[in-house]
Chains A and B, each alone.
Chain A
Amino acid sequence: MSKAKVATVWLDGCSGCHMSVLDMDETLLEVVKRADIVYGPLVDAQEFPEGVDLTLVEGAVSNQDDLKLIQKIRGRTKLLVALGDCAVTGNVPSMRNGIPVKALLERGYVEGSDVNHRPPTDGVPALLRNALPVHEVVRVDLHIPGCPPKADAIAYVVMEVLAGRKPELTGKVKFG
C-alpha cells in the first residue's frame, strides 16, 4: 500500500502552529513512517502536488499569493484542516482589518523609514483588504483551534486520519 500524502502550508501566521507540529518530538518519527510529507516549510517541493490526502493550513489568507495558493491547495487536497486560531478565526493577523491597507503601508514605509519613504510595489503581492479565516475563502473539512493547538491534539488528528478514522476533538482543544 502506498503511503498517505501529507502537506503543511503556512499562510499569514507566525509559524507557531508549525512549531507545535514539530513539538510532537519523537512522534514525528512515527508520522513519517506512515506518511510522505510532500509539501511544506521543511521540504524542498517545487510545487503543491496533486492528490494530497491531508493538508494542514496555518495562518489567515492575507494577500494575493495566499489567495492563489489556498485555492490551488483546495483543488488538490482531500481533507483540508484549518490549523490554529489564525486559520480558524483570523486571530492576530485580522487585527489589521479595521484599518485601510493604505494607512498600514504608510505607517510602515512612509512614516517608518529614514530613506525612500514609500511602500514597496515591485515583486511583492498586494494585500487583501482583510485578513480572512480560511473557511471564508475555500471549504474547510476540519478546524483545530488553539494559538497554537497543542502538539498532542495535532498528533491525535494526524494519526486518526492516517488510520482512516474521523477525529473527535471535543475536550481536546480550546481557542487561544
Chain B
Amino acid sequence: MSRTITIDHVTRIEGHAKIDIHLNDQGKVASTQFHVTQFRGFEKFVEGRPYYEMPAITARICGICPVSHLLASVKACDAIMAVQIPEPAQLLRELLHCAQFVQSHGLSFFHLSAPDLLLGFDSDPKLRNIVGLIEKHPEAARDGIALRKFGQQTIERLAGERIHPSWTVPGGVNKPLSAETRDEILAELPIARSIIRRTLKTFKAMLDDFPAESDAFGNMPSAYAGLVDFDGNLRIYDGILRFKDSEGKPMASVSRALDYSKFIGEAAMPDSYLKAPYFKPMGYPDGAYRVGPLGRLNVAEQCGTPEADVELAEYRQRLGRIVQSSFFYHYARLIEALYGVERMEQLLENPLILDRHVRAEAGVNALEGVGIIEAPRGTLIHHYKVDENGAMKWANLIVATGHNNLAINKSIQQVAERFVDGNQFQEGMVNRVSAVVRAYDPCLSCSTHALGQTPMQMRLYGPDGQMLDEVAT
C-alpha cells in the first residue's frame, strides 16, 4: 500500500514550488523534478503602457528586493532616453542598492536559513523558525531583526518608503541627499558592521559541523556569472557581465548590455513556470551556470573593500579559489553583506553624493534599452522595446533565480540521492531537500514574475510511477 504524507509547501523560501522524487527498483533516487508553480504574465500585460511606468509596475514583481527591479528598470529606461545619468545619481542609486543587499541578505540568513543552521536540520519543525530562534538564540534573532531594520530604514531615509518607493526615476533620482540624512546613515553603519562581523565569526566556527551538507548541497562543477569592473572588482549596480567556467577560466565578458542575448538563451521547461537560462555558446543544458553570492565571488577577483577582501581571502583559503558547493552560498552572502556596508561608507564619504544634479531629462531617443544589475540573488536583466511615443511594445525580464534553475534542479537531485532512502519521507530529509533550495535564496515570485506563497510539495515515486509518499513542508 502506498503511504501519503503531504508537504503542502516547502517553507522558508520565497515563492511557490513543488518537488517530485522518483525511485528506481533498488529504492534509490532515480530522478527529481523541481516545479515552480506561479505565473503572472508581466511581459505581456505591460505592452502598450508608457515606458516610464515600468519601474513602478515591475517593482511589484518582488517585495523582498523591489529596489533591484526598480534599478534594472530605470537603467533600461535611461537607455531608451539615451542619457548618461549624472554621477551623483549613479552614486545614490548604488547606495540604495547596497542598503537593499544588506537587508535582503540579512533576511535570507537570519529569518530563512539560520533556523536550520543554529537549531539544526533535524530539530523540531514547530520551533525551526524565527520564533524558535527568538527563544533559543535571542541574540542572533535580535541581530537579524536589527540588520534588516538598518537596511530597510536606510532605504526609507533615501527613497521615502521602505517597500516600492518612487525615488528612482528614468534619468536619475528625484531628490538629492541632504547632509543630515547622510550623517544619520553614517552614524548607524558601525552597528550594522558589527552585527555582520559577529555573524561571520559564528558561521565560520560552525563550518565543520555540516560535513554531509557541504559535501552534497549542490557540490558540482558549473559555470558562474556576475558583474565586475575593469579590474575584476565585485560590482552590484553596474559593470561588465563576466562568465567563468568551472575552473575559473573566463568564458565571456559582456560590456554592452544589449549584447546579453548573444550569450544567454532561455529554455522553456515542461514542468515548471520557471524558464531555464543557459550560456548560449555551450548550448542547453550544458551551459548551466550559477549566479548570486557564490557565483559573484567566483567570478570576481576581489571585492574591492578592505574588510570584505580580508574575509574573501580567508574564504578562498578554506574552500579554494572556485567554491563549488552551494552550501557556501550562506558564507558568500555574509561576505557580501560586509561589502555592502563598507561600500555604503565609501559612497557616503564621496563629496559628490550631496551634489544637487541628480536627474537628466529627455524623451524617447532609442527604441530599445537593456538594464542589467546584480540583485541580491544574482544577475537581473530588464529588456524593453518601445515605439516612437514611448509605449511599450515588448519586454523581456530575466531574473536572478532563473539563472540558477538548472543548478537548483541538479542540487535537489544530489541532496535527494544522499539523504532520501527507502519509500517514505523522514522529516529531516525533507528539510534538507528544502534547505538546498533555501541556500540559493530563490525568489520564485521574481523568477516567474509572480510571487506565490511558500508552499512546496514533495512527492516520492516508485519505479512503476506509483506515488509512494507525499509531503508538504
Chain A residues at the B interface, C-beta cutoff of 8 Å:
9-20, 22-23, 25-26, 28-29, 32, 36-37, 40-48, 59, 62-63, 65, 69, 91-93, 95-96, 98-99, 103-105, 107-110, 112-125, 127, 131, 147-148, 151
Contact = CB atoms under 8 A, between A and B. Distances in A.
Between A10, A95, A117, the greatest number of chain B beta carbons within 10 A of the residue's beta carbon is seen for: A10
A15 B33 CA distance: 25
B267 A113 contact: yes
Nearest to A114: B265
A14 B61 contact: yes
Given A62-B40, A92-B57, A43 B131 contact: yes
B199 interface: no
Given A22-B111, A120-B270, A112 B43 contact: yes
Interface string B269-304: 111110100101000100000000000000000000
A84 B149 CA distance: 21
Contact of B473 (A46, A113, A122): A46
Contacts of A25: 145, 148-149
Contacts of A29: 134, 145
A127 to B, nearest CB: 6
A121 B473 CA distance: 23
19 contacts: A20-B162, A25-B149, A29-B145, A32-B131, A36-B131, A37-B129, A43-B129, A65-B452, A69-B453, A69-B455, A96-B40, A96-B41, A99-B41, A104-B45, A120-B271, A120-B273, A123-B20, A127-B39, A147-B60
Between A98, A112, A124, the greatest number of chain B beta carbons within 10 A of the residue's beta carbon is seen for: A124
A119 B44 CA distance: 14
Contact of A122 (B41, B265, B271, B472): B271
Interface in B139-195: 145, 148-149, 152, 162-164
B66 interface: yes
Interface stretch (B6-14, B230-238, B326-334): B6-14
B451 A109 contact: no
A42 B130 contact: yes
Contacts of B13: 41
A86 to B, nearest CB: 8
A112 B266 contact: yes
B128 interface: yes
Contact of B11 (A45, A69, A108): A45
Contacts of B63: 13-20, 148
Interface in B418-473: 431, 445, 450-455, 471-473
Closest 10 CB pairs of A and B: A16-B63, A10-B453, A115-B267, A104-B41, A113-B268, A114-B265, A116-B268, A123-B35, A122-B271, A41-B454
Contact of B6 (A46, A99, A112, A131): A46
A41 B271 CA distance: 23
B41 A114 contact: no
A41 B12 contact: yes
Interface residues of B, number: 72
Given A15-B445, A112-B396, A124-B35, 4 more contacts: A10-B453, A22-B148, A42-B130, A124-B273
B134 A32 contact: yes
B102 interface: no
Contacts of B46: 95
A104 B126 contact: no
Interface of B: 6-8, 11-14, 16, 18, 20, 33, 35-41, 43-46, 57, 59-64, 66, 107, 111-112, 125-126, 128-131, 134, 145, 148-149, 152, 162-164, 265-273, 275, 278, 280, 284, 396, 431, 445, 450-455, 471-473
Given A116-B268, A123-B20, A148-B63, A96 B6 contact: no
Contacts of B111: 22, 42
Contacts of B64: 15-16, 19
Contact of B45 (A32, A99, A151): A99
Contacts of A119: 268
B60 A16 contact: yes
Given A45-B11, A96-B41, A99-B44, A23 B152 contact: yes
A113 B275 contact: yes
Nearest to A127: B39
A63 B41 contact: no
A15 to B, nearest CB: 4
A19 B451 CA distance: 12
B129 A120 contact: no
A93 B40 contact: yes
A109 B402 CA distance: 13
Contacts of A108: 39, 41, 43-44, 273, 275
A65 to B, nearest CB: 6
Contacts of A124: 35-37, 39, 271-273
